[in-house]
Structure 1
């Protein structure tokens, strides 16, 4: 079976792009186990922190929805059910379009 020059060129390009993808993936920095981002993406981190934060707000409240959104973006949630916003400046400073705090 004889391959045309065009077919050989296409196969070569596919192989090269695959090798570049693999090389780039291997060189990308991996997050450390101690980074805040890895903690926020750890199973249950945001659920646990937001569960405490929204404990007095009711089970089906908007508090959990917005807290989880804020935790995902900021990688932290202030302790307690209210206040302590200085523990997480990103959480404290994220505002809704109307200027009110986005995070509970």
Structure 2
């Protein structure tokens, strides 16, 4: 909105504040009030808007900091118990037709993967590394 009859339109600072607030511009055009009163109103309105914006930003960053202090601390991960590969492979290979070969291949897989699936066969989902070890011909390496 343009208002050329106002004596304040020549002041740069007031023009800046009035440009930010269309209500003040329309009020300035309608009134023939004291220029300092209009200037104070422009300042107080923009100051209030700035204060509200600053408060919202402060609240946002305070809550973000609070979340960081809760989630930011790494929780201690449970230490994996070292596996006894000999005992684990003994149980895995107890029904094998070739127990020595089974224990040897199970032992090398256990040392690499640090786990052995439960039972005498199958259950590969319990130890994915054990299941993914294959020979050059894509045959499972681990019993």
TM range (shorter): 0.5 to 0.7
- Over 3 Å counting, the alpha-carbon distance change for 1:87 and 1:60 in structure 2 is closer
Q: TM-score with structure 1 length normalisation? A: 0.58
Question: When you count helix as a share of all residues, which structure comes out higher?
Answer: 2
Paired with 1:46 and 1:55, the residues of 2 have a C-alpha distance of 14
The secondary structure found in structure 2 opposite 1:61 is helix
Gaps of 5+ in 1: 1-31
2:100 alignment partner, one of 55, 61, 68: 61
2:130 alignment partner, one of 81, 91, 94: 91
The equivalent of 1:50 in structure 2 is 89
Q: Which is higher, the Rg of structure 1 or of structure 2?
A: 2
1:78 alignment partner, one of 117, 130, 135: 117
Paired with 2:99 and 2:118, the residues of 1 have a C-alpha distance of 20
Number of residue pairs matched by the alignment: 67
Gaps of 5+ in 2: 1-76
Q: TM-score with structure 2 length normalisation? A: 0.43
1:57 is displaced (CA, Å) by: 1.2
- Superposition RMSD on alpha carbons, in Å? 2.1
Is 1:34 the equivalent of 2:73? no
Q: Is the 8 A contact 2:135 2:141 kept in 1?
A: yes
1:60 is displaced (CA, Å) by: 4.6
